[in-house]
Amino acid sequence: MNFVDRLIRRRAPRPPVALEGRRVFAIGDIHGCDDLLQSLIDTLIDHSRSDPEPPLFVFLGDYVDRGPATRQVIERLIRLTEGGHRARFLCGNHEEAMLKFLTDVESGLAWPGYGGVATLRSYGVTPPKDETSLDGWRKAQKQFKDALPASHRRFFWSLEDSVVLGDYVFVHAGVDPDMPLARQAVRDLRWMREPFLSDTRRLEKVVVHGHTPTSHPHRDHRRIGVDSWAYKNGVLTAVELSGENQSFWQARRGPDGIACAPHQGDEEAQQQTAG
């Protein structure tokens, strides 16, 4: 190896690594699609069954709203950890909006129209017929509080804003590329799109995120996006980080039921606008 080759090799960035000796699965926005979640989790657990160390699951937020089975999704996530599996759970912008409604109806009235009506119904709460009735929403809030099991309350209030594993940082939405990771605003972690999505500068760590749906998983030197619009497209995506390797898994709802398999196809950066 000559001097130039050695110099290039020294300067070339090494591939990112999450955890040594342990797979990490980061799962995108679920939005009340419990059938897809069940298929994906079962497949990933079976895929890593022979590993010397069990995998770590990182859920990127937006478990609630829009899809029909938020309550079942939360129950499944709680049972996952009760069953001995390691998992970290991030707070998405939809969880933030829901918790705001639970805390103060008047300041949280945007949530029901943001997909929250589906969450209320999954807990057996009927929203008011008159959407402008503050008293009606106060009644719905009380019913929602009464319907929430204590374990679900603890789950929602314990959600994290970010998780750092090795060369990766996991957030729901994105980061402000002009700010160090240690100084990110919580709102940006939960709501950010631009300038994060289109910026080209290398960041401190590779950002793994959901929040902005794409028709295929997105991957480049800066970020990995795995929101595949589960409630609308019937596709739930996870990225597997194993050593220096990155690969994708998808549970896909079709005419013959749900199939879960490694993602086949190119990643792309086409962005959709959804919250």
Taking the whole predicted model, whether its pTM rises above 0.85 is answered as: yes
What pLDDT score does 75 carry? 98
CA gap 67, 224 in Å, rounded: 24
| Tokens linked to 194 | 């631009």
Identify whether the C-beta of residue 215 lies closer than 8 Å to the C-beta of residue 270.
yes
pLDDT tens, 103-122?
999 999 999 999 999 999 99
pLDDT tens, 196-218?
999 999 999 999 999 999 989 99
What pLDDT score does 8 carry? 39
Report the relative pairing of strands 206-209 and 168-170 from DSSP bridges. Answer: parallel
pLDDT tens, 21-56?
999 999 999 999 999 999 999 999 999 999 999 999
Q: Which amino acid, one-letter code, is at 270?
A: Q
CATH code of the domain occupying 23-89+160-262? 3.60.21.10
Residue 195: asked if its preceding bond is cis (omega within 30°), the reply is yes
